[in-house]
Structure 1
Amino acid sequence: MLDDTDRRILEVLLKDSRISLKDLAGQIGLSSPSISERVRRLEERGVIRAFTVEIDPKALGYQLQAIVRIRPLPGKLHIVRKLIEEIPEFCECDKVTGDDCYVARLHLRSIDQLDPVLDRIADHAETNTSIIKSRPIERRPPPLQRE
């Protein structure tokens, strides 16, 4: 479980994961060695998995995003998974319950790119695609407050 200090550390790191340990310690009110140890323990426990860079797909020319529900044809589950892994436009994929086996997110430069990407799995799966118009809520962590 997280204590209040761990939660405060995570809140600060979520705003700026590049903050120095000295500045983090100053914001939390602990010494740099104490903060360093706390961050190390959060990493060891798997609470913090990575310090990463968030890239804006639009800055790289990917103007369109789509959500694709994928239902592999009988006996094709592993083939479809391998194809999804190999197609770089698929940036996320979740295996889900229900009628579909996978829900994936695509980044595309234009709508013209959609059919050629989906055609690569069409012999092995049925797809249902929704174009993303906006993201009212950006990806965010689960609530950090106490249970």
Structure 2
Amino acid sequence: MRTLDETDLKILRLLSEDGRKPYSEIGDSVGLSGPAVSDRVSRLRELGVIRGFTVDVDRSTLRDGTPMLLRLSVVPDDVESVVATLGESEETETVYTTAAGDVVAHVNLPTTDARSWLLDTVSGDAVRSFDADLLTDVETTDAVAGTDFALSCAECGNTVTEEGVTTRVGDDLVSFCCSSCESRYQERYEELKQGV
């Protein structure tokens, strides 16, 4: 199996800077033709490395508001619902969950009273405590580095290395760490397919 190489990483870096950059321009930067870049991008999409192309909207330019970073200490059983509630709010830019179970949200509030907004948005019983920091600037980077990429085996979850296998299963291109995992996955796929 051919793993991601330096050219793939350069293509990903260029696309993360501008998802609409023409493949011919990317090709000029990486020493490939436009169609060769297109083939690589298609392969990266099939492998799930590229999930899609999106628009990065700076919501603060679309409306007035106060950009803030909120860090919430949340009751463990309520973390998922708090994340979902914040994610549905028009004021929320991004929501993160930390390993410690805290919820961090970048919000653009219509008021400087973060406490009132939070109580109106999230169930008061779910939040133990919170901190709010005003943001003076927000810079988002989508850095692409070689260590960011490790394809996972669809069967066991291990990292797919040079010894791995990539196979088309149904309509999907699927990666495996070894031929044993590929066989188990294929067998289960066929059993499920016959059971339908």
In the aligned structure 2, how far is the partner of 1:18 from the partner of 1:110? Answer: 35
Deviations 1:38-79 (A, max 9, x none): 011112222222222221223112442211111224654444
Matched to 1:30, the amino acid is L
Verify: 1:119 aligned to 2:119, yes or no.
yes
Contact 2:9 2:145 in 1 (8 A): no
Contact 1:21 1:35 in 2 (8 A): yes
The total of aligned residue pairs comes to 144
Contact 1:7 1:145 in 2 (8 A): no
CA separation of 1:39/1:108 partners in 2, compared to 1, >3 Å: closer, same or farther? same
> Structure 1 residues 33-42 or 18-27, which shifts more?
18-27
CA separation of 1:80/1:138 partners in 2, compared to 1, >3 Å: closer, same or farther? closer
> Under a length normalisation based on structure 2, what TM-score does the superposition of the two structures give?
0.60
Tell me: higher relative CO, structure 1 or 2? Use CA pairs within 8 A at least 6 residues apart: 1
In the alignment, which residue of structure 1 is the partner of 2:181?
none
In the aligned structure 2, how far is the partner of 1:31 from the partner of 1:90? Answer: 41
In the alignment, which residue of structure 2 is the partner of 1:22?
24
The percent of aligned pairs where both chains have the same amino acid is 27
Contact 2:9 2:144 in 1 (8 A): no
> Under a length normalisation based on structure 1, what TM-score does the superposition of the two structures give?
0.77
Contact 2:68 2:133 in 1 (8 A): yes
CA separation of 1:103/1:18 partners in 2, compared to 1, >3 Å: closer, same or farther? same
Matched to 1:127, the amino acid is F
How far residue 108 of structure 1 moved from its aligned partner, in angstroms, is 2.0
SS of aligned partner of 1:23: helix
Say what the alpha-carbon RMSD is for the aligned residues: 2.8
Query: Which structure 2 segments of 5+ residues have no match?
Result: 150-196
In the alignment, which residue of structure 2 is the partner of 1:35?
37
CA separation of 1:27/1:74 partners in 2, compared to 1, >3 Å: closer, same or farther? closer
Query: Which structure 1 segments of 5+ residues have no match?
Result: none
